[in-house]
Structure 1
Amino acid sequence: MQELLNFLMQFGNLNQQQIEFIVSKTTIVDIKKDHPFVKAGKPFNEVIFILEGVLRIFYYNNKDQEITKYFVDENHLLANPYKGEPMTEYIQAITYCKLLVFSEKNWNEISNTIVGWNEIVNNIFHKALLEKMDRRSSLVSEDATTRYLTFLEKFPTLANRVPLSYIASFLGITQQSLSRIRKKTSDETFFTKW
């Protein structure tokens, strides 16, 4: 729970009573590796905070290929930006995940009880949007090697935790291309050190 409190305190001040109230509104959920968490077309009105693990957001294109849209790891909130509407993507645990889940009812109770909560939430989602735009913008116009190097820079903890096929899909390249790029960049790094 301390991770959630540390996270929230970055965006506003909460007293001990408010903190206890927020904690009382959470449920801990464990998800096994590779387990689907949310399916496209289904409602997702909860708000989750990732204590441990990595979630992948993906969809199927018109060729029925999985396209990884985003990764979400520890100390991030995740919610459906279109409240009340079914999800258009899938959310899958790609590692074991431990989540704090706020039901829609409990989230609304927090919002209706804690003065300044909506401002804290707006600050959180504003920062998340900026991070998402920053992480994705460089991946759109660069060559494949630069996209991979940018991925390593923007997601430094994910490269060894996420299957190559998901990283390749996220970068918009084939897994074979990604393997060649990884070999080339690791060889260059090796020779640079000498």
Structure 2
Amino acid sequence: MIEVFKKYIREKSKVSEEDLDKIIAVCQVKRVRKRQYLLQEGDVWKYNAFVTKGCVRTYTLDDKGNEHIINFAVENWWTGDRESLASGESSIFNIDALEDSEIVLISKSNFEMLCVQIPAFNDMVNGILQKSFIVAQNRIHTFISLSAEEKYLKFLEKFPHLVMRVPQGMIASYLGITPETLSRIRNQTAKK
């Protein structure tokens, strides 16, 4: 699991092997079984989390018990609650595993220390944050501007690897549409 994380860091940054050892020294490895929580609403999120194996989702529950999926994270993706991490306040999100997963965790204090001590790591983190902001901005645009069918087609284009890993009802939740609407769209798309 750590080897996957090391490979990722080598590909995304120019850290020296000595600095890579410093990074790995502060990592915690967590195995999360399918349906097990990594974070529950009301808890404070204290880590930067990197998925080395599996698939997790971040979501909220409304008053009626309906899930609203914010994102999915698979291998080589980061996950967590940035607001809770930054503020130290309770999270409004749940994060649980859709598959048996392996996660590398770095505490907030250790992550900040790495960013200060290792400029190449800090540059990598800033690049990731910038890309994350762009992804979020594009997701908002998609959500408010596109039809249900266009949202689904955009999802297929951007995340083809998730279609077979994530239940259709969860994809519908992510897209902000009902499972029935998604089923209708999938049937119409298959006929085209």
State whether structure 2 residue 144 is matched by structure 1 residue 140.
yes
Please, which runs of 5 or more residues in structure 1 have no aligned partner? 189-194
Q: Deviations over 1:15-49 (max 9, x none)?
A: 11001111121122111112121011111111111
Q: 3-state DSSP class of the match of 1:162?
A: coil
2:30 corresponds to 1:29: yes
The normalised TM-score by structure 2 is 0.88
Deviations 1:132-161 (A, max 9, x none): 322442233211111111111111110111
TM-score, normalized by length of structure 1?
0.87
Question: 1:153 and 2:153 equivalent?
Answer: no
Greater mean deviation of Cα atoms: 156-165 or 173-182: 173-182
**3-state SS of 2:35 partner:** coil
Alpha-carbon contact 1:33-1:97 (below 8 Å) kept: yes
Q: Which residue of 1 aligns with 2:166?
A: 162
Work out the number of aligned pairs and report it.
Answer: 188
- What's the Cα RMSD here? 1.9
2:47 equivalent to 1:46: yes
State the one-letter code of the partner of 2:152.
Y
The 1-side partners of 2:64 and 2:191 are apart by 35
More displaced 10-residue stretch of structure 1: 137-146 or 23-32: 137-146
Bigger Rg over Cα: 1
Instruction: List, as ranges, runs of 4+ consecutive aligned residues in structure 1 with deviation greater than 6 Å.
Output: none
- The answer as to 2:87 corresponding to 1:86 is no
Secondary structure (helix, strand or coil) at the match of 2:31 reads strand
SS at match of 1:157: helix
Q: Counterpart in 2 of 1:19?
A: 20
| Contact 2:44–2:91, Cα closer than 8 Å, also in 1 | yes
- Compared with structure 1, are the counterparts of its residues 115 and 142 closer, same or farther at alpha carbon in structure 2 (3 Å cutoff)? closer
Query: Which of 157, 178, 182 pairs up with 1:178?
Result: 182
Q: Secondary structure at the match of 1:69?
A: strand
